[in-house]
Structure 1
Amino acid sequence: MSIEASPVRILWIDTAKAYGMFLVFYGHFLEKLSDLGKVSAFLQFKFIYSFHMPLFFILAGYLSKKTNLNYKEFFRYHFTSRIIPVIFFNLLAMAISIPQDIFLGSLHLNSYLFGLINLVKGCPVYNFVTWFLVCLFTVENIHFFLSQYLNKSKQLIIFTVILFLIGWLISLKIEFVTSVTGIGKNFWFVHESLVAYLFYQSGSILKSWELFDEKRTFQFFILLFTGLIVLFTFNLNTDPFTVNKSAVIMAMSSHGNLVLFPLTALAGSLFVISLAKLTPDYQIILFIGQNTLILLGLNGLFFNFVNQWILSLINNLLTDSHLVVFEACSLLTLISLVLCIPCVFIFNKFIPQLVGKPKVSGPLLKNLL
């Protein structure tokens, strides 16, 4: 997710990340519409959430490389490229929230102290969308240590499956997240990282198999095959979930069925990746894919301050049909992404060190690495 680029970018990965980021924006509009009573919005929400976050973990695993860094160097790089952006976007959300609370007469300093304490615990309550970066940071730390001691790929795969089972069981027994303002037991998403590591490692395995180096006809086959799997399995995943909504929500450690969850997640991710492989290298799509970290943080601001307000205004104008919900959420997603573009340019130009580019220097801050 970091926009710290290697000398040669893998363009289809940028395209896949762009599709994933579209689904993040789109899915958060669906979530709000679902809360307002739109049944068709919930079904689309369940479909997208069954695979869109595993996709990002798979792509991160695909890009992972063996490193000669010692742990101090490894920690410093990943902290500055993952956690510094989390801190920045959460402080930005707090800076927006304070004047809003003053205007509404609902300012409570204790809530901001609560937010800062939880940020130290790895729980970004004021920009909860950035949970992914925290979880990815923990996943990468797990991978660093496991890869040091498990030299054989079979050992690593077996241990990955064991960690997944442990994480899945823990999520059933302990409620880590009750609401965005009610996080208590969650600590650096360690529990969810055990689950997410399965997808991270899947990305590494897919790279070793060179599955995406195959010809276009093979990609068409994967696209069709995985698309059908997702279509016929996502709504079968009905139990057990750890939140009221019967849908996969990794941020809240809600996964559902032990078999259907990873099956649908892997199939959906492969569908998006195959689609990306078949997509021409359009500059606007690549731009989105190359700036997903910034867009993730900005989406948290939309989710907190904009989405509910907009959808409350237009909810009565929308009929409860899949087509109407699709059109409305797609339009709102596109508008949101366009509105983010100036911020992407400003952040990249003036404070790149705070948004995933720790090696870049100036103009306001020195490089962090």
Structure 2
Amino acid sequence: MSAPLTTNRILFIDIARFYAIALVFYGHFIEELMLLENPVAASQYKFIYAFHMVLFIVLAGYVAKEGDVDWDVRTFLKHRFFSRLLPYIFFTLLMMIPPVFLDGKFFGLELPSFDGYATGLVNTAFGLPSFCIPSWFLMLIIGVELVHYAAFRYVRKSDGRILTAAVVFYAVGYLLNLKLDIFNPLKGRTVGWNYFFIHEAITLYGFYLVGIYLRRRQIFLDRLSVKILLPGAVVSFLIVLLTYQLNTGPFTFHLYNDVVILFASHGHMLLFPLTAIAGCALVLLIAGMTRRQKTMVWLGQNTLILMCLNGIFYHYINPPVSKWVMANLPHSALSIFGVGCAMTAASLALCIPFVWMFNRLVPQLVGKPKRKGPLVGSLI
């Protein structure tokens, strides 16, 4: 049976989500330094991207409500529209405004212009949100939840079935994407090729099931001793450290010879899941040792909003700041790590008032459709 949803467990998951979103902010800044040919940044990017998006999927599986698959199709789709797709639309519309006033990084789109906006909207409809790249994950999680709704009813009877299905879904999805390379802008496969990332959702559903299994077994549900958590974290870190550079492909998104979940580019069939699961374990174990600090928990509860707000930094702030860093600061590992941490902390701090504002004024538009707000009533 599924584990009860205790307060302790929710706080633990929120701490893990905080670390996950911090890795997103850090990784997107480091990516810009990597593109400026900093080898230290390239190594850190490869390390983080080896597991950080898989971590979100495992956490989503951990908190998944197994009874949702018993809803009728209309109820399920309505809930996913208001909790996932509506925020995607809302932040797309919101992020279409800054290009009128600011220059940003938009990968060849000429903004503001009619053609630029038209092309960007078409790309956004097919999973490449040109005005807010980080929001692509909302489309992916919809795809994973669609696969879950269709498949979980057939495997939920036993933990053995869940683990077997996890392996099967991963293997089928991995081979499907490796052979067909379905969604890849380098090959002109964007418009008409991607529908809620179903092609990648099949692969990642295996990790979603891992999250469900962990909750069923009540792993991390209760507070564990640091004597258990710390050695586990050290071992997990060493596994990631010793394996992430070994994954040299085959990668389908050749611009980056790294794991890029956005384009279903995984690399080695065995090394990818090994490093990803070890990385997830590392963050979960660290979360288990972390004091329940209110700000961290609150930010962890608002990762959907933060993911989309990261688009401001991704498109407008990270590129010029990274150029300044490369021109004026040392390129050592310590310097890059320090600047990356400082940028991450500053970026998250700047997001706090906006997260509060969205939750206060329009919670229904940012992933919380059951809440009532001063401008809009509850949607479901």
Superposed pair shares fold, TM > 0.5: yes
2:195 maps to which residue? 187
Q: Is the 8 A contact 1:25 1:299 kept in 2?
A: yes
| CA offsets 1:114-165 (integer angstroms, 9 cap, x no match) | 2223333344232121111111111111111112233433334333322222
Q: Tell me which of 216, 233, 238 is aligned to 2:226.
A: 216
| CA offsets 1:323-367 (integer angstroms, 9 cap, x no match) | 010011111111111111110111011111111110111211121
1:117 maps to which residue? 122
Which runs of structure 2 are paired with 1:2-13 in the superposition (5 Å)?
A: 10-13=10-13
Q: Cα distance 1:251–1:79, how it changes in 2: closer, same or farther (>3 A)? A: same
Q: Structure 2 regions of 5+ residues with no counterpart?
A: none
| CA offsets 1:62-107 (integer angstroms, 9 cap, x no match) | 00122142221122112211111111111111121234369x9853
Q: Tell me which of 283, 302, 314 is aligned to 2:325.
A: 314
SS at match of 2:132: helix
CA distance in 1, matches of 2:333, 2:257: 19
Q: Is the 8 A contact 1:175 1:242 kept in 2?
A: no
CA distance in 2, matches of 1:317, 1:82: 41
- CA deviation after TM superposition for structure 1 residue 26, in Å: 0.4
- CA deviation after TM superposition for structure 1 residue 256, in Å: 0.5
- Percent of aligned positions that are identical: 39
Q: Give the TM-score normalised by structure 2.
A: 0.90
Q: Tell me which of 172, 178, 202 is aligned to 1:172.
A: 178
Q: Structure 1 regions of 5+ residues with no counterpart?
A: none
Q: Is the 8 A contact 1:295 1:344 kept in 2?
A: yes
Q: Tell me which of 137, 147, 151 is aligned to 1:146.
A: 151
CA distance in 2, matches of 1:255, 1:122: 18
CA distance in 1, matches of 2:103, 2:237: 45
1:301 maps to which residue? 312
Deviates more, 1:52-61 or 1:82-91: 82-91
CA distance in 2, matches of 1:105, 1:261: 36
SS at match of 1:186: coil
- Are residues 1:203 and 2:211 paired? yes
Q: Is the 8 A contact 2:103 2:316 kept in 1?
A: no
CA distance in 2, matches of 1:92, 1:361: 21
Q: Tell me which of 279, 303, 308 is aligned to 2:290.
A: 279
Amino acid aligned to 1:13: I
Q: Is the 8 A contact 1:40 1:322 kept in 2?
A: yes
Q: Cα distance 1:105–1:355, how it changes in 2: closer, same or farther (>3 A)? A: closer
Which runs of structure 2 are paired with 1:19-98 in the superposition (5 Å)?
A: 19-67=19-67, 68-98=70-100
- CA deviation after TM superposition for structure 1 residue 210, in Å: 2.1
SS at match of 1:126: coil
CA RMSD for the aligned pairs? Answer: 2.3
CA distance in 2, matches of 1:331, 1:58: 27
Q: Cα distance 1:81–1:107, how it changes in 2: closer, same or farther (>3 A)? A: same
- CA deviation after TM superposition for structure 1 residue 170, in Å: 2.6
- CA deviation after TM superposition for structure 1 residue 264, in Å: 0.5
Q: Is the 8 A contact 1:123 1:187 kept in 2?
A: no
Q: Is the 8 A contact 1:49 1:248 kept in 2?
A: yes
1:242 maps to which residue? 252
Q: Is the 8 A contact 2:126 2:190 kept in 1?
A: no
1:263 maps to which residue? 274
Q: Is the 8 A contact 2:182 2:199 kept in 1?
A: no
Aligned length: 364
Q: Give the TM-score normalised by structure 1.
A: 0.92
Q: Cα distance 1:97–1:247, how it changes in 2: closer, same or farther (>3 A)? A: same
